[in-house]
Structures are given as C-alpha cells and as structure tokens.
A and B are shown apart, each in its own frame.
Chain A
Amino acid sequence: IMEDATRALGKGSLPPGPVPDGLIRIYSMRFCPYAHRTRLVLRAKGIRHEVININLRNKPEWYYTKHPFGQIPVLENSKCQLIYESVIACEYLDDAYPGRKLYPYDPYERARQKMLLELFYKVPHLTKECLVALRCGRECADLKLALRQEFCNLEEILGYQNTIFFGGDCISMIDYLFWPWFERLDVYGIADCLNHTPALRLWTAAMKQDPTVCALLIDKNIFLGFLNLYFQNNPDAFDYGLPC
C-alpha cells in the first residue's frame, strides 16, 4: 500500500488541521511528476510525512491559502511554514533533515547538479505535449524529435562523465529530480524516444533498481486507468486505483 493511497480532497472539503510535531505534510496528487520528485526525496531520506492529495480539477477553496495558484507540491511543517516549487521543496528537505545528503557537499559538485537541471528544463513540457497529442489522436513526430534531441544532450553528459548516474557512481538528487518523467515515457507511449541513447537506457535500468524509486513506482495499469479518465475530464480520475 502506497503512503499516498488516499482520496483526493476537492471543493467543499474541510481544511486539514495543523501538522503534528514530528511530521511534515505534502500536498500532492498520486500521478503528478512534480510532486513525485518531492515524494522520492521524502522516501530516500526516510522522513516521516503525511500526504494530502488534492483534486486538481476541483480544488478545495482552502487550498489557495497553501499555494496562491493552487499548484502542487507544497510542503507544510508543524510551524505552519509553507514551501513550494518542487525543486525548492526537495532542497529544503535535504537541508532541513539529517541523515543521507542527496545533494553533494562540495560547492562545485552542487553547482554542477544545478547546471544539469537547467539542461533538463524542456523535457517536462515536451513529454506532456507528446502525451496530449497522442491522446487527442494527433501525430507528434516533431515533438518526439525535439524530445530525442534533449535526450541526446543528456546522453552526452553521461558519456562525458562515464558514470552510471548523473551525479556520479551513486544515485543523488539530480537523478531523483529527472526520474518522474522517465518513469512516465512508457505509459505515455513514447518509450521509443530512448532508442538512440544507450547510456540513458542503462541509467533508467539502474534507477529501477533503486529502493526508493521502486517503492514509489506506479503500476502501469493504474496509471493508464488514470490517464483514460483524466482525458475524459472525469473528476474521479485522481482516485483511480484506490480501494473503494
């Protein structure tokens, strides 16, 4: 059972109470790739947390007090402090919690991971555009070509570094920040975009061996069920796959 296997809150729902001491809360949605980043970090660092899923097509009125535009993910701690933007939330967790550091200690290596993130910035938009095009019965050869080009850039980095992961020989923050979109390539129907990037394929295989990635892997059939309902504008999409 996934930690976030709870029904999404929508309009008319009661606002949740304050976050208890010793816990941090994440406002999330089970299929959102941005929130997925933050959930990976929570898991990787073993941080005790509670998940409140938000119905993104029918947002609770109170949710705008957590984020001015009602976006996810948002972290809320027991001091009522709110942190948003997925990358900012991930860095906050790495700074605020003890144990395994996901960002390197060395300032140059930290800067390198942030520069790598800049290289990635077109990928979320392109993967989403491909998904929408395919789901709406449009062809997307141009989009796939653009996505392949982005993957070539990432392939070059792995080739130049000669390491398995983007931060070196062990998994680190940058790998978790990239992962959610690669996990979705198959279910979006664009896994063939990796055909010409063998190092990137090796990376995805290595990622699937990571205990944190594994623990949060979304079942393909459940994801497809969500996508079907989502593209039919069904407000129950976000709860697909939850036990009744």
Chain B
Amino acid sequence: MYSLLVPSFCAINKLSSALFQGGNYIFEFDSFADRDICREFVAAAIAFHGETGKSTSEKPAAALQDEQLSTAEMEHRIKLLQEDNELQRLHKQFVIGGILTEAEFWATRKKLLDQNDRRKPKQRVALKNEMWSVKPLSDGQSNRVTFNLTPEIIHQIFAEKPAVRQAYLKFVPNKMSEKEFWTKYSRAEYLHSTKNVVAAAAEAAEDEELAVFLKQDDMLTNEARRKIRRVDPTLDMEADVGDDYMHLPDHGLLREESKDVLDSQYEPYRRYFSQDLNQHAAVVLQGRVVDVELGDTRSVAEALARTKQAELANEVSDGNLEKDLSHRISRVAEIEDLQGPRDLAVAPLCIKDPRDYFDSQQANALKPLGDAGSGVKTLKFNVSSVEAYGSLRELISEIRVTGLSEPITDPEVAFKVLSGLTQNISSTKYHLGKSPHESILDSLPKVTKEDLLHHWTSIQELLKHFWSSYPITTKYLYTKVTRLKDAMSQVYPKLQEIKESVQSDFRHQVSLLVQPMLQALDAAFAHYDADVQKRSAKSGERPNGFM
C-alpha cells in the first residue's frame, strides 16, 4: 500500500513500469483534486500499455526510462496517440514492433510535440444559468426563513450586482462581520420577494446598510450606459428562434410583476424583473471572468472589482474603438457606387493531405522515366530557322487567301469525335464515379482502402528513416538500416495479399495503385544493395554473417 502525501509524478512514472509486471496497488491521496489528476494519468498509462500485451511490456518500459522524459512529455505523447488513429497505428507498428525506437519515431514529429500549451487539459465549468431566485427554506412552525449561500452563489451575486460587491468591500470586516453582511443581504432579498415596496422603503430609511441592498444599483446603470454607447447600431433583421416571444411568458421563470402605480418616492425601491434578467444573462454569457478559488469571499469580491477596473481603464485608453465602429458602419451600410476598389477574392493557400494525391500517382506507374509517353515518333531532323518560319508564314497567308472552309469539319469526323467523347466520359463515369472528386479508392471496399492508405503512410515513414540514414557513417545507422530493410521486405507479401483479396474487377486498378509503392521500395532496395556492394568491395572481405 502506497501512501502519497504529495502526488509525485516521478514516483508514478517509475511505478508504471513496475505496475505492468503484475500486482495490485492502492494509492491514498489527500484531496480529491490530487486523486483526479493521478487517476487520469494512470488511466492513460494503462491504455497505452494495455494494447501491447504482456510480452512487449518490458520494452516500452525500458524505453521510457532510457529517455528521461518528463511526465508532461509522456502525457502529451499519449494524448497525441490517442487522438490520431493513424499515428497510433504507425507507432504500434514500428515502435512496439521494435523497428524504430521511440526517440527516432518522435524525432520527425517535433512540431506535434511542441503544441503543448495550446489546449487546456480540462473543460472549464461555466457559470450557472439559474438565477438565484428567492425560495428560502421556511419551516411552517417557526418564523425563521433560511437562505443557503454557497461560494458559487456568492460569486454570482458579486458578478451581477456591483453595488453589493462594493458594499462588501467597504463594510466587511470594518463595520460588520461576514455573517451579518449576508444576513442583511438576505433580509433585503426577502423584502424584495414580498413585493412590498412600501415596506422596503420604510426599512431602508431606518437601516443605512440595508438601503444599499434595496436601492437600485447605480454602478449597474452606469455600466449599462457605457455599454449602450458601444453597441453596434447595424442590425441584422433576420428573425430566428430566439425571437420567439409567444410561447413562454417570462421565459419560464416565476416572477410576478406588480402592476400598482406607486408614488415617486418609492420608485428607487422598485425592482424590475427585466433588468435582473438582462444583467443575469449578460453575466452568464460573459463566463467566468476571474479564476479565484471560491472559498474566500473577500478575495472573490476584490478580484471582480479589479477586473472591472481593468476593463474600464482599457475602454478609456482605447479611444480607437469608436472610430473603428464608425468605419465599420460606413462599410456595412455601403453605397456601392461610392466605394473604392477592394481586395480581390483569392483562394487560401493550404498544404494538402498527401493521401488525396495517392490515387493520382498511377500515371507514374505507367510511364518510365525520361519518356514523355509518346507512342508516335516525331521526326527528328534538323530544320533551319529560316525554313521553319518561312513555311509558317506561307501557311498563314494560305488561310488569308482561302478563308475558312465550309464546313469547318467533315460531319462524319465530327460525329466520330462526339461519340468517342461521350463513350469516354460515360466509361470513366462508370469506373470512377459520378462526381469529379470521386476516385478509384472510394469504389473499393472500405477495409481495403484503409489498408492501402495505411500501407502507404507506413512505407513513407520507413522510407523517410531509411533514406535519412545514408550515408552510413556509424554502427548505429548500420543496424538501423538493417532493421528498416527487414521491415520493408515484409511489406511485399502484405501488398500482394491485398491485391488478391479484392474482387477480380478491381484487381487491375488496385495493382496500379500499389505499383508506385512497390517502385519506391524497389528503389530503396537497389540503393541498399549497391551500397553494400560498395562497402564490401572497399573492405575487401565479407563481413561476418552477410549474404
């Protein structure tokens, strides 16, 4: 039994190798957060190792320890493998299969590994959508009403009601304790819930602090005014589901608006549901502005106050915004005749997935190098330029004299052309599919297609490592090349298998697709053999065990 007071990731890393040699382990943690982090890591490690099976479990463990990786690195790699199926297959095939080492595999993928910081590992929890409606627990027996205030609710109150936040910062702990503050606040809320505006005014007159909670929030009105000035006046008139006012009155929330008309002295104590709703919605949509631990009320209040201050300062310093806004307005509500020239529409540049080009390589298979595929021999004779230009000129004047012939083409020839074209198009349509983007690959059964593409990417990977090891200057490279060569020679029978597993109508096309892969492998082998011969000729004797 292992008791971890502080989760130590190095310890876990070392444990993971021990873990997979059997045995059960129980971990003890101090807090839930620690346990969660550890659990994630261990689950990932188990998933990673679980696939390899028992026989190879020592190898990755050894590899892990050899490299002195940090845990974050390991985690990141595991995550990358889990997300990309293709990468995982390649990794399994080569690293677990012992053809490449872990370091070599990742050496060509540095870019992937560097993307460490971009994503946050966990989802952030947003604010609750529920408005804290006053439904206090009241037991029917006594006159007590209980309000439950969790840190979450307190955070929400501070975010939505800046006056309360300011009051908290001002009053606590100088004038009253936290408990008193919240009791007063709850009393104010209770008064509001009774809809008794007159009573609210009365109590406010007596208790100064209570008055703060009962009155309308001035800070809020100022904020609202500022926001209004920055609203984009151009309006998208398109109606959508959100404009549905018909079906749910008050949007489903329980509130009753009192319709009495009161004296103006009571006006400040009136609360409007729509105002509350709008402010609540604005705060929820803005999300969590501060990332402070919710336990300490004071720090939450201060953090929110600071954020608002910073926002205000930014707005003041950003005088450009209004200018930009007016530019935008003039652009959107434009009068076309008065506009100047604008940038041209261009297709964005993008690096395409090489797998899209896979089936187009068939053409290479058919054409040997250096021959542009001419079936017809062009007469290669030496022509003087004078002669050539002269004959061209003659031909041009011939047309000028005779003019266009009538008919321009012999009708029989035209008919032959048309039927030839039609046949061509319909046969390619039959073979390759209707849309111009479909290809041979899509018409094959899915398994075959996946296999072919996978073989192609794995051959690319092998060849990448193979060619980069030349010239062979160290023993390490020599063993690496031998390993790669063995792996490559095993690909041939696999490709043959695929060819045979397909239906006979597709067999020809599949062999055309497979051809470039075989050619690439053949070229690699030819180079290997040539290099070996050169070496043995140089050394003058055959190395031991060499064929």
User: Do A and B bind?
Assistant: no
